[in-house]
Amino acid sequence: MGSGDLFGESRPEAATFRPLAARMRPRSLDEVVGQDHLLGPGRVLRSAIESGELHSMILWGPPGSGKTTLASLMAHVTGASFVAFSAVLSGVKEIRQVVADAEAARARRGSRTILFVDEIHRFNRAQQDAFLPHVEKGTLILVGATTENPSFEVNSALLSRCRVYVLRALGEADLLVLVRGALADRERGLGAAPVEVSEEALRLIARLADGDARAALNVLELAALLTPAAEGRRRITEAVIQEAAQRKTLLYDKAGEEHFNLISALHKSLRDSDPDGALYWLTRMLESGEDPLYIARRLVRFASEDVGNADPAALTLALAAKDAYHFLGSPEGELALAQAALYLALAPKSNAAYLAFSEAQEDVRERPSEPPPLHLRNAPTPLMQDLGYGRGYQYAHDAPDARVEQEHLPESLQGRRYYRPTDRGLEAELGRRLAEWQRWRQTRRRDG
């Protein structure tokens, strides 16, 4: 299969109307920018492609990292048939047709078929299972592309039959190579219509693209279209680039791995008392479109789980931030979330309440459900009084310093300690009070 067939460039007039990112798609492995860990000399994937020893695989990487390009090049280099398949638009019926065509091509010409499935994570389990026998028999070489962690999104049977290759977001240096190449290329790029872009403006494109090659070339192309020609040249300014980009599109999927990566980074920055890290990750989530009330809920949870009684005011402030956002909405209410995050990061930390609650939960779930001791039960009826309900109960407010030595746990748990205050923040004072009460009760019981 020739490169004209593969990339649709057999008619020059058709190429004119194709987006710059499509026209600049690499035509050989040497033109691929980035992914040297996979495609550098002697690397496993490059060696497999060049030797023709193809195998089914999952290409996992962020948008614009080259997944589609790489799959196309596999077919181009090895002479295999290339069938593009969208998980959004196709189903099991289309899979059967592709398999039938692949079997016919194998029988007639002995040719292999690469089935490229974009967004394979969007297939349900039954659709993914439909590939299994044909991947095992070698009827198809399956190349699935996904932006989501395949260990979550691809079923284990199919995943075990594919090798996973991780593509990385392109660095700014890689993106600069791409946009400079597009500016210089007279055949496929913008070189035939002179375009001038300063070094600072090129670097701005690379920053705004955020690792996405397609985004970088799209911004460059739109900026060129928005710039009027003067004296036969187009001089693209940083202001035009900002207008073309509008707003950097951050990698994020509120239901996917990146969602959990970012909230984990926020939570750990707060726990490690780093206000700058916490503010950055909170802002990343907000700018990526996360529901601010989800973030508010996580801040409230953090205030109990990781700050706890070392600073009880943290929970009050986190709840106030939630209410402030609910009252103000975006963008004004987001400042309250940032304020709360900064406070939580710098608050003294204690997970003693969390650990105590977890241990109490474990006892409740694992041990027999004993009734409360008789002296702790109310006795509203004569029968209950006769049975001993409430007998011997010591009313704390009638005792000096409101202290009593009676037991409050079931008999099998007496002496159990759940809450172990730390020596940080206000909890140090709570720990002092608890230790004093425990010493007093031990003394009373010994003397009694």
Q: Which residue has the higher pLDDT, 166 or 386?
A: 166
Q: Which residue has the higher pLDDT, 284 or 405?
A: 284
Q: Which of 289, 316, 346 is the last residue of a domain?
A: 346
Residue 310 has pLDDT above 80, yes or no: yes
Residue 87 has pLDDT above 80, yes or no: no
| Residues 261 and 160 occupy one common structural domain | no
* Banded pLDDT at 357 (limits 50, 70, 90): very high
Question: Mutual orientation of helices 238-245 and 213-226 as an angle, nearest 10°?
Answer: 120
Q: Which residue has the higher pLDDT, 411 or 295?
A: 295
Residue 402 has pLDDT above 80, yes or no: yes
For 323-344, b/e burial (b = at least 16 CB within 10 A) is: ebbeeeeeeebbebbbebbbbb
Residue 2 has pLDDT above 50, yes or no: no
Which residues touch 194 (CB under 8 Å, ≥6 apart)?
Answer: 232, 233, 234
| Residues 158 and 266 occupy one common structural domain | no
**Predicted local confidence at residue 289, as pLDDT:** 78
* Banded pLDDT at 3 (limits 50, 70, 90): very low
**Predicted local confidence at residue 251, as pLDDT:** 54
**Predicted local confidence at residue 297, as pLDDT:** 92
Q: Which of 149, 166, 183 is the last residue of a domain?
A: 166
Domain residue limits at 316:
257-346
Q: Which residue has the higher pLDDT, 442 or 359?
A: 359
In a domain, 281, yes or no: yes
Query: What CATH number did the domain enclosing 90 receive?
Result: 3.40.50.300
- Determine the Cα–Cα distance for residues 403 and 398; give it in Å rounded to an integer: 9
- Determine the Cα–Cα distance for residues 226 and 417; give it in Å rounded to an integer: 70
Which residues touch 380 (CB under 8 Å, ≥6 apart)?
Answer: none
User: 170-190 pLDDT, tens per residue?
Assistant: 999 999 999 999 999 988 998
Cα(first)–Cα(last) distance of the chain, in Å? 96
**Predicted local confidence at residue 91, as pLDDT:** 65
Q: Which residue has the higher pLDDT, 199 or 12?
A: 199
User: 21-65 pLDDT, tens per residue?
Assistant: 889 999 999 999 989 999 988 898 999 898 888 889 999 988 889
Question: Helix, strand or coil for residue 64?
Answer: coil
**Predicted local confidence at residue 242, as pLDDT:** 87
In a domain, 152, yes or no: yes
Q: For residue 115, what are the β-bridge partners?
A: 83, 142
**Predicted local confidence at residue 253, as pLDDT:** 56
| C-alpha distances out from residue 184 to 22, 202, 279, Å | 16, 13, 40
Q: Which residue has the higher pLDDT, 255 or 302?
A: 302
Q: Which residue has the tokens 């802002």?
A: 283
In a domain, 289, yes or no: yes
Residue 10 has pLDDT above 70, yes or no: no
- Tokens in use for 117? 């499935």
Expressed in percent and rounded to 5, the helix, strand and coil fractions of the chain are: 60, 10, 35
**Predicted local confidence at residue 140, as pLDDT:** 84
| Residues 148 and 263 occupy one common structural domain | no
Average pLDDT over residues 133-148: 85
Residue 322 has pLDDT above 90, yes or no: yes
* Banded pLDDT at 280 (limits 50, 70, 90): very high
User: 251-275 pLDDT, tens per residue?
Assistant: 555 555 677 888 889 999 999 999 9
In a domain, 159, yes or no: yes
| Residues 162 and 284 occupy one common structural domain | no
**Predicted local confidence at residue 250, as pLDDT:** 55
E strands within 15-56?
none
- Determine the Cα–Cα distance for residues 178 and 25; give it in Å rounded to an integer: 10
Q: How many domains does the chain have?
A: 2
Strand order from edge to edge, sheet including 81-86:
81-86, 113-118, 141-146, 57-60, 163-166
**Predicted local confidence at residue 299, as pLDDT:** 96
| Residues 161 and 45 occupy one common structural domain | yes
pTM metric for this prediction = 0.58
Average pLDDT over residues 316-337: 92
In a domain, 103, yes or no: yes
| Residues 49 and 160 occupy one common structural domain | yes
**Predicted local confidence at residue 176, as pLDDT:** 94
Residue 447 has pLDDT above 80, yes or no: no
| Residues 263 and 162 occupy one common structural domain | no
**Predicted local confidence at residue 167, as pLDDT:** 92
**Predicted local confidence at residue 80, as pLDDT:** 86
In a domain, 59, yes or no: yes
- Tokens in use for 310? 């070392």
Average pLDDT over residues 129-146: 84
Question: Mutual orientation of helices 213-226 and 172-184 as an angle, nearest 10°?
Answer: 40
Average pLDDT over residues 114-135: 83
Residue 83 has pLDDT above 70, yes or no: yes
**Predicted local confidence at residue 7, as pLDDT:** 34
**Average predicted confidence (pLDDT) for the chain:** 85
Residue 431 has pLDDT above 60, yes or no: yes
Identify the DSSP state of 303: I
**Predicted local confidence at residue 203, as pLDDT:** 92
Query: What CATH number did the domain enclosing 274 receive?
Result: 1.20.272.10
Q: Which of 166, 183, 203 is the last residue of a domain?
A: 166
Residue 344 has pLDDT above 80, yes or no: yes
Residue 207 has pLDDT above 70, yes or no: yes
**Predicted local confidence at residue 448, as pLDDT:** 65
Q: Which residue has the tokens 């399956």?
A: 142
| Residues 40 and 162 occupy one common structural domain | yes
Q: Among 85-94, 279-288, 373-382, which is the least confidently predicted range? A: 85-94
In a domain, 312, yes or no: yes
Residue 16 has pLDDT above 80, yes or no: no
In a domain, 379, yes or no: no
Identify the DSSP state of 159: H
| Residues 46 and 150 occupy one common structural domain | yes
